[in-house]
Structure 1
Amino acid sequence: MPARELQEQLNTLREQLEQNPPLSAEERTDLHELMAQIESQIELETKTQDSSLSDGVNLAVERFELEHPAIAGTLRNIVQTLGNIGI
């Protein structure tokens, strides 16, 4: 089930953040807000197109790609899963 896969990826991202990578307070806050949006979307299990969530995750990928490649990789997986479930 894609929602389960998305939740697993979100858990991976949460674990990565618990390892306290060198992020600014703003970056950490932005990621937590993004994770909350993703969790809300999973809970709703909506099949409507919500490009703002995907756009937000894509922007986060670009933001973290150079300095935090592991986080960016997990975010890329989240984008892929969102696409697979029609979000």
Structure 2
Amino acid sequence: MPASRELQEQLDTLREQLEQDPPLSEPDREHLHKLMVEIESQIELENQLQDNNLVDGVNLAVERFEVEHPTIAGTLRNIVITLGGMGI
């Protein structure tokens, strides 16, 4: 499976998890939404140039959510791995 397709599937999984309305604050939801928009933009561009800011942002989100929302953090970790596989 191409990395961009796998990444899109992981984003879809994250979107489904958020639709289940986990107890997140509005700033946390906005932060995740912003990250998802950035990741989707990266997919659309299929830019193989390294974008450390995107990966750093997702890694920070993993740290932010891993204690209270481990399922979301796990999905974000998968996204980081897929981005790495894409050379991002």
TM-score range, shorter chain: over 0.9
Gaps of 5+ in 2: none
The residue number in structure 2 matching 1:17 is 18
The residue number in structure 2 matching 1:72 is 73
1:1-87 aligned at under 5 Å gives the runs 1-87=2-88
Q: Which runs of 4+ in 1 moved over 4 A?
A: none
Structure 2-normalised TM-score?
A: 0.98
How many equivalent residue pairs? 87
1:11: Cα distance to partner? 0.3
Question: Aligned Cα RMSD in Å?
Answer: 0.2
The one-letter amino acid paired with 1:39 is E
How far apart in 1 are the matches of 2:45 and 2:3? 14
Gaps of 5+ in 1: none
Structure 1-normalised TM-score?
A: 1.00
Query: What is the DSSP-based 3-state SS (H/G/I as helix, E as strand, rest coil) of the residue aligned with 2:87?
Result: coil
